[in-house]
Structure 1
Amino acid sequence: MKKNPPPRTLDTFDRAILRIIQHDNKMPQRQIAAQVNLSAAAVQRRIAMMEKAGIIVSNSAVVDVNAVRMNITAIVEVHLTDERLQTVDNAKTLFRAAPEVQQCYYVTGGISFMLIIVSQDMTSYEKTTRRLFAQNESVESYRTLIALDRVKSGSDIIIPSGDCPG
């Protein structure tokens, strides 16, 4: 993972730009500029600075899981055999590299990790669990919850008011 430069303070314009582009990052910069009362060049510079500072980490398309027939969404609790640094780091590396793992959190509360995994069907999901958990000597146990309905899914965050570090 790359090191980010020191955080910069987000001003009112930066926060307004972030609110717009996290909903539609393909909006032309001239339209963003009109909405936030800046020039298109100023918007372009601010976006470039926020990308360089690591505030904007990605520009990607959100794909409907149903459209690509990823029919199974599983929420998985993973318990590691121990919480030694090497064990945890190895698990992070494995989970980060698995394309089926959409989200991965190292958590407290007696559970090591919580993962969100998508699969085409139960056969695919079983293959994923074998590879990530059953054949992994660092995994003590895991528990799967299958989502019945995707009620809300997204990555938009609330952009706080006032100056905030980036």
Structure 2
Amino acid sequence: MSELPATPPLMLDKIDRGILRLIAHDSTTPLAAIASEVGLSATPCWKRIKRMEEAGVITARVALLSPARLGYPVSVFASIETADHSEDWISRFAGVVAAMPEIVGAWRMSGDVDYLLHIMVPDIPAYDAFYRRLIAAIPLRNVSSRFAMERMKASPPPI
């Protein structure tokens, strides 16, 4: 999943941004409430939302879940270095990442680290088992893991 824009960003006005702020805060907000908040009637508001969905600005409407309440209180950020940058290795690595549900975020990086993985597990032994499966699945030069102590902020992009 690429976060980089393949096309120029959609031109958004103040009303579009207001709609996005409301949806990003709570995607279950009724259309009538969104429309009222941004000063539109329901139909024009709905048309703007559909336009932003079709343009790929709104990519999904999801519920945010509590990792701790679901039994995954440990967040690990693993920096990955590889000696192989071939298309075949990158494709294999992407498949490994996709197949491991503990990986909830993955980025290809610039600089001294090749990839950054966000991993959620129930405890340290579960991370050790994950780590062993990861290094058995694909050759890596170095894996450096950092354990999050506290999640201080999680928010949508600035709108």
TM-score grouping bracket, smaller chain normalisation: 0.7 to 0.9
Once the two structures are TM-superposed, the CA of residue 42 in structure 1 deviates from its matched residue by 1.4
Q: How many pairs does the alignment contain?
A: 155
Shift of 1:71: 2.2
Deviation at 1:16, TM superposition (A): 1.2
**1:61 lines up with 2:63 in the alignment:** yes
Q: How does 1:85-164 map to 2 (within 5 A)?
A: 85-132=87-134, 134-152=135-153, 154-159=154-159
The alpha carbon displacement at 1:12 in A equals: 2.1
Using the TM superposition, give the Cα deviation of residue 6 of structure 1 relative to its aligned residue in structure 2, in angstroms: 7.4
What is the Cα deviation at residue 48 of structure 1?
1.6
* C-alpha distance 155-80 of structure 1, shift in aligned 2 (>3 A): farther
**Contact preservation (8 Å) 1:7, 1:53:** no
Letter of the structure 1 residue corresponding to residue 158 of structure 2: I
Identical-pair percentage: 29
Contact (CA 8 Å) 2:82, 2:142: kept in 1 or not? yes
List runs of 5+ in structure 1 lacking aligned partners: 160-166
Per-residue CA deviations over 1:77-133 (Å, capped at 9, x if unaligned) read 01112222332232223213422112111001121101110001122212211222x
CA RMSD between the two structures:
1.9
Instruction: With the length of structure 1 as denominator, give the TM-score of the two structures.
Output: 0.84
Whether the 8 Å contact between 2:107 and 2:115 is mirrored in structure 1 is: yes
Q: Could you tell me which residue of structure 2 aligns to residue 71 of structure 1?
A: 73
**Structure having greater relative contact order (Cα 8 Å, sep ≥ 6):** 1
Paired amino acid for 2:156? D
Whether the aligned pair in 2 keeps the contact of 1:96 and 1:104 (CA below 8 Å) is: no
Task: After superposing the two structures, state which structure 1 stretch, 62-71 or 24-33, moved more.
Answer: 62-71
